[in-house]
């Protein structure tokens, strides 16, 4: 049965200081299914995760079990890497998850490592997260001392090693191949795919990269079964959904919610409505990389497939009359992304917010691909002059053509991450940009 | 001037060298070694980079390339305490730029020209999203977070950090 508002699975220990310690974690049921997992055959765990319909919580929403299945059967050495680089603007769940429940991540990683037959495993934690690093490292040390990690865990003969690797400031290292380069001690620049990490990743070995929240769901799948987990969700998405709600909202926060909940329910029933009694204008559904929703599109569920296909969401356009093509004529609506929901009220200065988003991408481009390096710089520059009231009549077409020139033409998805919201905001809030430019013209005429 | 790692840092680096399974290179430890060097020497001078290179048997150019890619590595001396103030979307929407301006004014610095106060007590950085968006606007100072900051709290935050400086050095 789908969950109701208030059901907590992954966030059940939030607010419980004691649960951060190994003893406190065990007291609340932690590590109780670890023996069960270690007694299972690795393939049976993979199948259970497939049946659970667990989908990646890092951004793409890819089926976790399917991804695990890509590891070649004859691999000599496999690695599991947890992506704890969380830095997509609007997203603040992984940091809280690690802070409140570090052992749940460790337990999920031990089980997943067993499923993948991975011995040497890593958590790549964002450099700025020093407090969370300290919490996590302490938990890892405790788990080693207790025999949950190491050479012969719980006397099973299995070896699972876990090392916490600190980043040092670079959004791009959240992209999985940049992350692997960074783990190898290189500059954090993405690699060309294929080969995909599941085939050739860290140190050339098959490697599975999973998000913090994704891995924290695994102990519940082992404990209660894939079918149970799938039943918590809706459609092809199992489990609950953790969202981070920020912006112009009465009660911002990190909330674990039913997968099928709509944006209007999140805003009104969970978060006490738009702040100051204002009306909603726009909602970013999953981190700033994702095209926005407008006020008429908020009865759509915050679920992976719905956000990509629901008829109620308008298609992103390159320019009026020309639909954006994801390839093969597929339309782009939006995506569930990282769960970072940013609510913008009716007083919002959309061109200014868009400039801030473009400034971010220009700053974070790693510079390898010309369309991304040059394009994000131009998007920042042109969106800035539009926002500042110095825009030209031709600037909207210029922004659209720059964004269109980036999308699909780069090594990694950061290019798309800049282009999609640019086109999405232009599609749905064109009058706001036109008004900013009209204001500029008026100023010119008066001068 | 040639530098040396403390015994503690040397021990940490040696232990980390055992944690990465690739044979014949200590390259994966370069990020941790740079963090340690920055903690011990304050910033990553050419000498500090040379020390990391020789400790890990890596070419200087490689270490330099890594040190200049990541924003947290500092090539120049900075203030004792680093304040990272977020101005990204969620923080901007709730006054992040106003709080940043209040920090600049109280510290007498400009983030665009370095952000280090004249008494070298503070470095202020305009940061991208620090993953605390639900408590915007916010700042991170080492292991401490300052959440839901209003402009009138800025003076108090600075005073507090003056009496407990540089929480960053607690962690490496
Ligand atoms: C520019 C960019 C930044 C990303 N940042 C993150 C991140 O901070 N955390 C994360 O889990 N995934 C991030 N991703 C997605 C990862 O590449 C990868 O898909 C994910 O970690 C896979 O884990 P999952 O299947 O469990 O979601 C990013 C992707 C791109 C293109
Ligand atoms: S798309 Fe941008 S961030 Fe990604 S590899 Fe190319 S230049 Fe680097
Ligand atoms: S936008 Fe400021 S913390 Fe995320």
User: Per-residue pLDDT tens for A149-176?
Assistant: 999 999 999 999 999 999 999 999 999 9
Which of B16, B21, B128 is closest, CB to CB, to A363? B128
**pLDDT at residue number A250:** 98
pLDDT in tens, A7-20: 899 999 999 999 99
Mean model confidence pLDDT for chain A: 96
Q: In angstroms, what separates the C-alpha of A227 from chain B's closest C-alpha?
A: 33
Q: In this model, does residue B100 exceed pLDDT 60?
A: yes
| Phi (first) and psi of residue B128, to 5 degrees | -80, 180
Mind listing the pLDDT tens digit for each residue in A273-296? 999 999 999 999 999 999 999 999
Report the separation in Å between the CA atom of B5 and the middle of ligand 1, taken as the mean of its atom positions: 35
Task: Specify the pLDDT at position A223.
Answer: 97
- Chain A, window 234-253: residues with a beta carbon less than 8 angstroms from a chain B beta carbon: 244-248, 252-253
Question: Per-residue DSSP letters for chain B?
Answer: ------HHHHHHHHHHHTT---TT--GGGHHHHHHHHHHHHSS--HHHHHHHHHHTT--HHHHHHHHTTSTT--SS---SEEEEEE-SHHHHTTTHHHHHHHHHHHHT--GGGT-B-TTSSEEEEEES--S-GGG-S-EEETTEEE-S--GGGHHHHHHHHHHS--GGGG--
Predicted local confidence at residue A447, as pLDDT: 55
Chain A, chain B: beta-carbon pairs less than 8 Å apart:
150
Provide, as residue numbers in chain A, all residues whose Cβ is less than 8 Å from the Cβ of B73. 168-169
Confidence at B99, pLDDT banded by 50, 70, 90:
very high
pLDDT of amino acid A167: 97
Contact B134 A92 (CB under 8 A): yes
* B72·A130 Cβ contact <8 A: no
Residue A443 has pLDDT above 90, yes or no: no
Q: What percent of chain A has pLDDT over 90?
A: 96
Greater confidence (B116 vs B167) lies with B116
- pLDDT reading at A1 higher than 60: no
**Cβ A383 vs Cβ A354: under 8 Å:** yes
pLDDT in tens, A297-329: 999 999 999 999 999 999 999 999 999 999 999
Q: Is the pLDDT of residue A3 over 80?
A: no
CA–CA separation, A267 and A271 (whole Å): 5
For range A66-78, the mean pLDDT: 97
């Amino acid at each position: 049965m789908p969950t109701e508002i208030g059901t907590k699975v992954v966030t059940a220990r939030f607010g419980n200081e004691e649960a951060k310690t190994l003893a406190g974690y065990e007291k609340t049921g932690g590590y109780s299914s670890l023996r069960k997992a270690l007694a299972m055959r690795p393939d049976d765990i993979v199948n259970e995760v497939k049946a659970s319909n667990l989908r990646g919580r890092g951004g793409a929403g890819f089926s976790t079990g399917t991804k695990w299945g890509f590891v070649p059967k004859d691999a000599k050495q496999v690695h599991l890497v947890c992506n704890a680089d969380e830095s997509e603007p609007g997203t603040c769940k992984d940091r809280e998850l690690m802070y409140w429940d570090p052992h749940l991540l460790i337990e999920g990683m031990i089980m997943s490592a067993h499923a993948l037959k991975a011995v040497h495993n890593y958590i790549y934690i964002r450099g700025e997260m020093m407090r969370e690093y300290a919490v996590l490292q302490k938990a890892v040390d405790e788990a080693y001392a207790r025999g949950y990690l190491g050479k012969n865990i719980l006397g099973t003969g299995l070896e699972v090693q876990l090392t916490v690797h600190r980043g040092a400031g670079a959004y791009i290292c959240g992209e999985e191949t940049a992350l692997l380069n960074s783990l190898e001690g290189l500059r954090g620049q993405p690699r060309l795919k294929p080969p995909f990490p599941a085939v050739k990743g860290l140190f050339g070995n098959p490697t599975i990269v999973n998000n913090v929240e994704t891995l924290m769901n695994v102990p519940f799948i082992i404990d209660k079964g894939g079918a149970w987990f799938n039943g918590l969700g809706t459609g092809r998405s199992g489990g609950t959904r953790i969202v981070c709600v920020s912006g112009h909202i009465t009660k911002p926060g990190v909330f674990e919610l039913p997968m099928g909940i709509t944006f209007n329910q999140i805003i009104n029933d969970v978060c006490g409505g738009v702040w100051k009694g204002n009306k909603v204008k726009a909602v970013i559904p999953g981190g700033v990389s994702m095209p926005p929703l407008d006020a008429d599109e908020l009865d759509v569920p915050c679920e992976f497939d719905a956000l990509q296909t629901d008829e109620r969401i308008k298609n992103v356009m390159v320019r009026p009359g020309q639909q954006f093509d994801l390839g093969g004529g597929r339309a782009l609506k939006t995506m569930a992304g990282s769960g970072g929901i940013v609510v913008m009220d009716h007083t919002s200065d959309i061109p200014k917010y868009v400039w801030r988003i473009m400034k971010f991408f220009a700053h974070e481009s790693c510079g390898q691909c010309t369309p991304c390096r040059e394009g994000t710089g131009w998007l920042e520059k042109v969106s800035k002059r539009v926002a500042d009231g110095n825009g030209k009549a031709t600037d909207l077409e210029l922004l659209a053509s720059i964004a269109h020139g980036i999308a699909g033409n780069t090594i990694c998805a950061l290019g798309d991450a800049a282009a999609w919201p640019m086109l999405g905001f232009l599609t749905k809030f064109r009058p706001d940009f036109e008004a900013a430019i009209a204001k500029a013209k008026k100023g010119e005429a008066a001068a | 001037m040639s530098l040396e790692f403390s015994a503690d840092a040397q021990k940490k680096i040696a232990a980390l060298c055992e944690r990465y399974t690739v044979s014949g290179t200590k390259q994966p430890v370069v990020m941790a070694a740079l963090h340690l060097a920055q903690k011990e020497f304050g910033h990553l001078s050419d000498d500090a980079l040379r020390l990391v290179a020789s400790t890990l048997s890596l070419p200087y150019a490689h270490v330099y390339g890594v040190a200049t890619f990541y924003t947290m590595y500092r090539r120049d001396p900075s203030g004792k305490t680093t304040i990272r103030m977020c101005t990204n979307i969620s923080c901007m929407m709730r006054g992040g730029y106003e709080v940043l301006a209040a920090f600049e004014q109280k510290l007498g610095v400009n983030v665009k020209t370095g952000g280090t106060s004249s008494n070298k007590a503070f470095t202020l950085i305009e940061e991208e999203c620090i993953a605390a968006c639900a408590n915007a606007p916010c700042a991170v100072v080492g292991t401490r977070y300052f959440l839901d900051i209003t402009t009138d709290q800025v003076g108090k935050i600075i005073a507090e950090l003056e009496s407990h400086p540089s929480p960053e050095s607690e962690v490496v």
